[in-house]
Structure 1
Amino acid sequence: MRVLVTGGAGYIGNYIVEELLDAGHHVRVLDSMLWGDDALEPFEDDENLEIREGDIRHIEDLSYAMDDRDAVVHMAGIVGDPACGVNEQATQSVNVEATKSLVEVAKLHDIDRLVFASTCSVYGASELMELNEGSYLNPLSLYAESKIDSEEIILHETQDQFADNDITTTILRLGTIFGWSRRMRFDLVVNILTAKAVLEGDIPVYGGEQYRPLVHVHDAARAFAAVLDADEEKVDHQIFNVGDNDLNYQIKKVGRIVEENVEGAEVRFVEHKEDERTYRVSFDKINHILGWEAEYDIADGVQEIKEWMEEEEITDYSQKEMRNSEYPYM
C-alpha cells in the first residue's frame, strides 16, 4: 500500500512510519518539521520512504503529498490541552479547518482509506465504570472539542450513498500515551513523573484520584498499522478506542508504579484541585474486531525512559522541544 502519514516525524508518527515500512508499505511523510526530522533519521535511507516538509493548512502541500497515495494516516495537529490553549485560533485552523481541506483533497485524489488520530479525552468526565465508543461525549478542553469536530467532519464527509468514491474511514481514539520516542515528550503524565523521579528523586502527584486510560506509544502505532491491514468491512466508518482495559489507572497508582521502578525516588502527594477529567475506557471493541492487544505496560515505559535518560545523560526535562505547549503556533 502507498501511505501518506501526516505528522510522521512526531512523537507517535515516527513509530507509525516504522511499523508501515516494516510491513512493506511505501510511506510518504508530510510534516511541518516544527521539532525537526531527527525522529525519521533511522529510516532516511529506506527506498520506501519519502519525506516532505509542508503544512496541512496549505492545499497545495496536501495535494502534492496525496498524489498517487492509496491511504492517509492523519496524525498532524496541535496535540494536548496546554498546547491547544496557546493560540485558540491556530488550534481551530490546524485541528479542524485543515481536516476539512484534507478530506476534500482526499476525495479528489481517490484515496481509498483514511485513518484519523483522535483522543479518549473526548469522554471528558464520567462516573460510568467504563466508557465505550458509543458513550456520551463530554469534552472539557479545546483540544477534545477540536477532535470531536474533526471526527464528525471525517465520518460525515467521506460517506455518500450516491458517490462512487467513498473513503473507508476509521477513527482511533487514543488513550493517554506514554513511553520513549525518538521525538521525546515530557508533557505526558508517565513521562514527566519518570523524569522527575530520575533527576530529582521526587514524584509529585497532584490530586491523584482521577482515572486515565494509558497506552504505550509503540502500541498506539501498531493500532494504525492494524487498521490498514484489516478488511475494509471491519473498519469502515468505525471508531475504536486504543488502549488496554488493564491500563485504566488512577494517577496516584501511576505515581506508585514509577516509584517502584526508579530506585530512591518517592511519591509526594500534593493537595490540589482535582483535575476534572476522569474516565475509564473499554477497549473490548478493538480487541475483539481487530485482535489488537497492548504489548507494553507502564513499568516498561518507565524503564525505557529511565535507561535512555541515563545513557544520553539527560539532565533537563523542561527543554522546549520536548513540550508541545512551548512552541508559538501561528
Structure 2
Amino acid sequence: MSFNILVTGGAGYLGSTLVPDLLSLGHKVTVVDNFMFQQSSLNHVCHHENFEVVRGDARVKDTIAPLIRKADVIIPLAAYVGAPLCARDPIGAETTNHDAISLMLDLVSKDQRILMPTTNSAYGSGDENNYCTEESELRPISKYAIDKVAVEQELMAHENAISFRLATVFGMSPRMRIDLLVNDFTYRAVHDKAVVLFESHFKRNYIHVRDISRVFQHGINNFEEMRGEIFNVGLSEANVSKKELCQTIQRHVDGFNFIEAELGKDPDQRNYIVSNEKIEATGYKPQFSLDFGIQELIKGYTMLRNSKYGNV
C-alpha cells in the first residue's frame, strides 16, 4: 500500500537516506526543508515523478498547514540535532525541536499517522547500572534532549503516533554529518591517526543511518500494531564505551592510536546501556553492524575531507 508521506527536514542526514527508500517503495513523498546548510542531498531523486520538494520552514503555519492536509503519513525530521548546535542557537532549537512539532500536532487530524524520531539521549545516565528501557526515568542533560522529552509527551497524546528513541547514528549519507561520534572518531582515525578520550568508559548505543530508514519503513508497514508506543532503536550488540569503539576502529585503520586522558571531563556526560528488546519483538532487527559502518566510513573519507579553511 502506498501513502502520501510528508517529510520535514527531508534533505538532512536521515532524510536524504530515507526519502529515496520511500520513493523506491512506491510512496509519494513531499519534502519541506529550509536548506540551512546549503545541501544538495536530494539531487538524485528529482527525476522521480512521486517526489515533490518545498523550500520552506516547518515552523511557519502558512507553509506547513497545506502540506499536512494532503499527507497520510508525517515524518517530522526537521530539527536542530545535537547539543552543540542547540547550545549555540537555543531559540532556533526550541522553535524547531519543540514549537514546530506542537504546531504540527495542532494541525493534524486524528486519522493521520505520525512517525517521529526522538532520542535515547533522554536517558542521561540510566539507572544505577546505567541500563535503560522505554520505562526508565528520563534524565535529559542537553537542551536538545530536554526539548525532545517535552515534545514526545505531547506526541504520545496523539492516538496515531509512534516515537522512535534513536541511538547515536553513524554511517555515510548524501547529507553527511562528520560530528556524530562514530563518524567523528573514524574521520580522526583516517586523517589524524589519533584521538584523545575523556572518560573513555562512558557507554552509548549506536545505529546505522540505513537502519533508521528501515525502522521507519517497518513502522509504516506495521503501524496498527505499533501505534501509541515508544521504541528504543539501536544495535543491541553496539552498547559500547568510547574505548571499545576506538578498539573497533583500530581493527580497520592501520596506525590509529588513542590516548585515555587521566584529567578532564567530557562535556557530553551521557553514559548508558540501552535495551532494544521492545522493537526487536515487533520483528525489526538492524542489518548493519558497527564494523560495517566503520568500513563504509573509511571509503567515504577517502573522498571527503573537511578542508574549507585549509590549504591542503
TM-score of the aligned structures, taking structure 2 as reference length:
0.93
Please give the root-mean-square deviation of Cα atoms over the aligned residues, in Å: 1.6
What does residue 116 of structure 2 align with? 116
Post-superposition Cα deviations, 1:28-69, rounded to whole Å, max 9, x if no partner, equal 101111123421111110111111111011001111222321
Aligned sequence identity (%): 30
Q: Following the alignment from structure 2 to structure 1, what is the Cα–Cα distance between the partners of residues 233 and 308?
A: 28
Match of 2:269 among 273, 276, 281: 276
Q: Following the alignment from structure 2 to structure 1, what is the Cα–Cα distance between the partners of residues 38 and 194?
A: 31
Amino acid at match of 2:118: S
What does residue 128 of structure 1 align with? 129
What does residue 315 of structure 1 align with? 305
| Contact 1:52-1:65 within 8 A present in 2 as well | no
Mapping of 1:4-43 within 5 angstroms?
A: 4-43=6-45
Q: Following the alignment from structure 2 to structure 1, what is the Cα–Cα distance between the partners of residues 219 and 181?
A: 27
What does residue 262 of structure 1 align with? 253
Q: Following the alignment from structure 2 to structure 1, what is the Cα–Cα distance between the partners of residues 89 and 274?
A: 29
| Contact 1:203-1:259 within 8 A present in 2 as well | no
Shift of 1:22: 1.9
Shift of 1:318: 7.6
Q: Following the alignment from structure 1 to structure 2, what is the Cα–Cα distance between the partners of residues 124 and 222?
A: 26
Q: Following the alignment from structure 2 to structure 1, what is the Cα–Cα distance between the partners of residues 223 and 217?
A: 12
**Unaligned regions of 5+ residues in structure 1, if any?**
160-167, 320-330
Instruction: State the 4+ residue runs in structure 1 displaced beyond 4 angstroms.
Output: none
Q: How many residues align?
A: 304
What does residue 53 of structure 2 align with? 51
**Unaligned regions of 5+ residues in structure 2, if any?**
none
Amino acid at match of 1:71: V
Shift of 1:129: 5.3
What does residue 89 of structure 1 align with? 91
| Contact 1:169-1:238 within 8 A present in 2 as well | yes
Shift of 1:130: 2.9
What does residue 82 of structure 2 align with? 80
SS at 1:195's partner residue?
helix
Q: In the alignment, is residue 227 of structure 1 matched against residue 219 of structure 2? A: yes
What does residue 154 of structure 1 align with? 155
Q: Following the alignment from structure 1 to structure 2, what is the Cα–Cα distance between the partners of residues 254 and 66?
A: 41
Q: Following the alignment from structure 1 to structure 2, what is the Cα–Cα distance between the partners of residues 318 and 173?
A: 34
| Contact 1:69-1:111 within 8 A present in 2 as well | no
Q: Following the alignment from structure 1 to structure 2, what is the Cα–Cα distance between the partners of residues 318 and 270?
A: 29
Q: Following the alignment from structure 2 to structure 1, what is the Cα–Cα distance between the partners of residues 261 and 307?
A: 20
Q: Following the alignment from structure 1 to structure 2, what is the Cα–Cα distance between the partners of residues 315 and 94?
A: 29
Taking structure 1 as reference, are residues 99 and 18 closer, same or farther at Cα in structure 2, changes over 3 Å only?
same
SS at 1:39's partner residue?
coil
| Contact 1:214-1:247 within 8 A present in 2 as well | yes
